[in-house]
């Protein structure tokens, strides 16, 4: 990859992806409207590189990238309206604007003269309806028939925008790879995610006290950011991944949120009890991707164990956010 464009490039995944690509020798252009991202220490260091540039643009504008070159090799479209509460509060704009942004980026991709891959970040949420209404296999393969929860439910808007988007990508006439990320976590992600939320609760709790944990019996697998970025880079660079839809994540261990809380407590190093809170509304009871296609086609598997990933995440959050002036990005 010689020249790469990343939308949502100031966000959690986009930032780490940009750093890895720049370190590999690529010229990297980040596009972000900065509505939820921020220029933190990580990003300042990244932008100090001569091969990385940030463009603050609103991708909902028809001419957002009209002045950009037509020689990008790879486009990673990570930008989206997301966040559970944001989606619940704004279902119409979530659906409409996610589709509108993607349409603009696909048209931009069609202008490129040397494009080898358009990588679209879908979501594991596309499986939510199948889990609810069918006997969905777990770990879940990519060819699982998709089903929709009730259209009257605000949360459906986000996953529907991604299902709609997957079909747009498949029929846009571009060389593509669709990835469905599953519970990616790590340093610098927003605080509205389960791993940093639990870390913050445990960090601030008094030794011998307790923390409230929601949906304790729901199960998940977790993918550390370094592994997720390696998968993204491999997907974009391998011919075998062209025109494929791939789960991006870690297949095992599948653990309960209560077990995750135990790992967090051990990481923080306190004696804490878990107070069982209510089930989070709309939260799937299980989520675990089958990753054999990612392994076969991209040649990548997860390498960072959960305990190690949680430790690295805490070592960043404790001084930078919990006790420092830094704030985690919101994407």
* Region 324-330 average pLDDT: 73
* Residue 240 vs residue 327, higher pLDDT: 240
Considering the chain, what is the average pLDDT of its residues? 95
Q: What is the pLDDT of residue 35?
A: 82
Instruction: Please state, in angstroms and rounded to a whole number, the distance separating the CA atoms of residues 77 and 161.
Output: 14
Residue 263 in domain: no
Work out the pLDDT band at 229, boundaries 50, 70, 90. Answer: very high
Residue 260 in domain: no
Q: What is the pLDDT of residue 86?
A: 85
Distance between the two ends of the chain, CA-based, in angstroms? 25
Q: What is the pLDDT of residue 330?
A: 55
Q: What is the pLDDT of residue 104?
A: 98
Work out the pLDDT band at 324, boundaries 50, 70, 90. Answer: confident
Q: What is the helix, strand, coil percentage profile of the chain, to 5?
A: 40, 15, 45
User: ω into residue 253 within 30 of 0, thus cis?
Assistant: yes
Residue 197 in domain: no
- Mind listing the pLDDT tens digit for each residue in 74-115? 999 999 998 888 899 999 999 999 999 999 999 999 999 999
The percent of residues above 70 in pLDDT, for the chain, comes to 99
Instruction: Please state, in angstroms and rounded to a whole number, the distance separating the CA atoms of residues 235 and 191.
Output: 28
Residue 153 in domain: yes
Q: What is the pLDDT of residue 147?
A: 96
For residue 297, the tally of other CB atoms under 10 A from its CB is 18
Q: Are strands 223-224 and 184-185 parallel, antiparallel or unpaired?
A: parallel
* Domain count across the chain: 1
pLDDT at 326 over 80: no
**DSSP states of 17-39 as a string?**
HHHHHHHTT-EEEEEE--SS---
pLDDT at 37 over 80: no
Residue in the structure block whose two tokens are 């990753």: 291
Residue 310 in domain: no
- Mind listing the pLDDT tens digit for each residue in 141-170? 999 999 999 999 999 999 999 999 999 999
Residue 262 in domain: no
Work out the pLDDT band at 331, boundaries 50, 70, 90. Answer: very low
Q: Taking CA 175 as the corner, what is the angle to CA 7 and CA 2, rounded to the nearest 5 degrees?
A: 60
Residue 274 in domain: no
Of the segments 28-42, 186-200, 233-247, 312-326, which one has the largest average pLDDT value? 233-247
* Region 120-132 average pLDDT: 96
pLDDT at 208 over 80: yes
Q: At 108, which CATH number?
A: 3.40.50.720
Q: Are strands 273-276 and 210-213 parallel, antiparallel or unpaired?
A: parallel
Residue 240 in domain: yes
Is residue 287 within 8 Å of 182, Cβ to Cβ? yes
- Mind listing the pLDDT tens digit for each residue in 233-287? 999 999 999 999 999 999 999 999 999 999 999 999 999 999 999 998 888 999 9
- Non-local (6+) Cβ contacts of 17 within 8 A are 6, 9, 76, 78, 229, 232, 233
Residue in the structure block whose two tokens are 């790590």: 186
Structural domain range at position 129: 3-186+223-249+290-304
């Amino acid at each position: 990859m010689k020249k790469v464009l990343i939308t949502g490039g100031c966000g959690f995944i986009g930032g780490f992806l940009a750093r890895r690509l720049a370190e590999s020798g690529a010229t990297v252009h980040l596009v972000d409207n900065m509505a939820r991202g921020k220029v933190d220490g990580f990003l300042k260091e990244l932008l100090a590189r001569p091969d990385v540039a940030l463009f603050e643009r609103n991708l909902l504008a028809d001419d957002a990238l009209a002045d950009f070159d037509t020689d990008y090799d790879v486009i990673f479209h990570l930008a989206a309206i997301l966040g559970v509460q944001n989606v619940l509060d704004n279902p119409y704009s979530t659906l409409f604007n996610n589709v509108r942004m993607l349409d603009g980026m696909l048209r931009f991709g069609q202008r490129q003269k040397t494009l080898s891959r358009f990588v679209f970040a879908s979501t594991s949420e596309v499986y939510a309806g199948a889990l609810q209404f069918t006997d969905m296999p777990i770990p879940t393969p990519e060819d699982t028939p998709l089903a929709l929860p009730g259209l009257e439910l605000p949360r459906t808007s986000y996953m529907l925008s991604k299902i709609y988007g997957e079909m747009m990508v498949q029929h846009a006439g571009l060389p593509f790879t669709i990835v469905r990320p599953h519970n990616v976590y790590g340093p610098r992600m927003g605080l509205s995610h389960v791993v940093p939320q639990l870390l913050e609760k445990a960090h601030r709790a008094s030794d011998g006290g307790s923390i409230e944990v929601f949906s304790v019996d729901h199960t998940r697998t977790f993918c550390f950011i370094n592994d997720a970025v390696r998968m993204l880079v491999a997907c974009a660079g391998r011919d075998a991944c062209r025109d494929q839809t791939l789960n991006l994540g870690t297949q095992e261990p599948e653990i309960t949120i209560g077990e995750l809380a135990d790992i967090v407590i051990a990481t923080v190093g306190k004696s804490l009890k878990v107070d069982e809170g209510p089930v989070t509304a709309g939260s799937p009871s299980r989520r675990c991707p089958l990753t054999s296609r990612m392994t076969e086609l991209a040649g990548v598997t997860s390498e960072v164990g959960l305990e190690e990933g949680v430790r690295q995440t805490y070592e960043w959050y404790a001084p930078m956010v919990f006790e420092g002036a830094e704030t985690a990005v919101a994407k």
